[in-house]
Amino acid sequence: MPELPKLPDLVVLVAEPSAHMRRIIREIMMRAGIKRILEATDGAEALAQYTMLVPDIVILEWDIPMLSGEDFIKLVRTSPETCKRDTPIIVTLGTANKNVVDMAIKLGILDILAKPLSPKSLSSRVHQAVIRAREAQRQRVKTMRHQTPTIARAVAASA
């Protein structure tokens, strides 16, 4: 597999209760060239950081305390305080569980990784998330450009 490009301009939020696991994820992200890594030890802290700093991607432990992974995702995707509702979220699981996987997918997460995490798989998933997010943004811009003349005509007709 070819080496992945470095992504120094990204902001990654790591929401993980274990200091050891946060350190491992931080190291993997730094090796991928990511320099801005935010850390949260519980779901409430993660939501506060998300709302204030709007990261480009979230790596979220499903079983995080204070505000579960499920609740965090629901709030990020629906709350008026979260201005960027389509941020890619990668969920990590200590124990794979089909019900949890199904629920996370229904909530709109990007990917799921079971622990222990492989540096190669995590950095690859982050790169894939960035590519998908940038492509989705390009599609939104393209759609907006096509809709602009229609909107302008509708506004002019109503005036």
93 strand-pairing partners: 114
44-49's contacts with Cβ under 8 Å and 24+ in sequence apart are: 45/15, 46/13, 46/15, 46/72, 47/72, 47/75, 47/76, 49/13
CB 9 within 8 A of CB 126: no
Q: What's this model's pTM, rounded to 2 decimal places?
A: 0.82
The CATH homologous superfamily for domain 11-158 is Response regulator (3.40.50.2300)
pLDDT tens digits, 101-158: 999 989 988 789 999 999 999 999 998 888 887 787 777 777 777 666 665 565 556 6
Q: Where in the chain are the domains?
A: 11-158
User: How far is Cα 71 from Cα 15, in angstroms, rounded to an integer?
Assistant: 13
The pLDDT tens digits of the residues spanning 76-92 come to 988 777 667 788 999 99
